[in-house]
Amino acid sequence: MIERGNAIPSVGIKLVTASGTTETTSLEAFGTGVVVLFSVPGAFTPTCHVNHLPGFLANAGKLKAAGVDKIVCASVNDQHVMKAWAEASEALDSIDFLADGNAELAEALGLARDFAPYGMGTRYARAALILRDGVVSDIFVEDGPGVNASGAPAILMALEAANA
């Protein structure tokens, strides 16, 4: 699994933003500035849709005030599903969405998990990373169900501690 001090791997991704969908690499998309990248098992899934994404959306202004240049939500869904989720959540003005349909970045980060028993195949672990110029400064991976360590309040606390 990726650790503090590791550079983000360069893997092909589709990035869904307010401007549209672009094919790029994770390094190009997250290699400069301060980026909060949070990963969810699936778009529209109950915890992801009701707890994880809304927390980042509600705290987007605070995260930006704490020095975050970009907030990105990653999932192993295709770009069409990610765009529909972003639009349904009214999040496109605040959060970019990473479509990692083949779980290539999830695998490269060591955050891929087997959700086959739930009929979902390979998915991301619920996690959040703080990247500074493409290098992981902090990583938070949930060790159980729910949103605690990887939620927006925990990320804000980490950013405030780093900026103190």
Residue scoring higher pLDDT (144 or 75): 75
* pLDDT tens digits, 122-140: 989 999 999 999 999 999 9
Average pLDDT over residues 19-44: 96
The contacts of residue 76 (CB under 8 Å, 6+ apart) are 41, 42, 100, 101, 102, 103, 106, 112, 121, 122, 123, 124
pLDDT band at 93 (very low <50, low <70, confident <90, very high): very high
Q: What's the one-letter identity of residue 18?
A: A
Confidence of residue 95 (pLDDT cuts 50, 70, 90): very high
- The answer to whether residue 47 scores a pLDDT higher than 90 is no
Cβ contacts of 157 within 8 Å, gap of 6 or more: none
| Whole-number percent of the chain with pLDDT over 70 | 99
Task: State the Cα–Cα distance between residues 11 and 139, nearest whole angstrom.
Answer: 19
The set of catalytic residues is 48
Across the chain, mean pLDDT equals 94
pTM: 0.95
Burial zone of 148 (CB within 10 Å; 0-12 exposed, 13-18 middle, 19+ buried): middle
Answer whether residue 119 shows pLDDT above 80: no
- How many other CB atoms sit within 10 Å of the CB of residue 149? 17
In the chain, the domains with their CATH numbers are: 12-163 (3.40.30.10)
pLDDT at 30 exceeding the cut of 80 = yes
User: Tokens 């619920």 correspond to what residue?
Assistant: 126
Long-range CB contacts (within 8 A, 24+) of 31-34: 31/133, 31/134, 32/69, 32/133, 32/134, 33/69, 33/70, 33/132, 33/133, 34/67, 34/68, 34/69, 34/70, 34/130, 34/131, 34/132
Please say whether the beta carbons of 95 and 10 come within 8 A.
no
Rg (CA), the chain: 14
pLDDT value at residue 49: 81
**pLDDT confidence bin for 149, thresholds 50/70/90:** very high
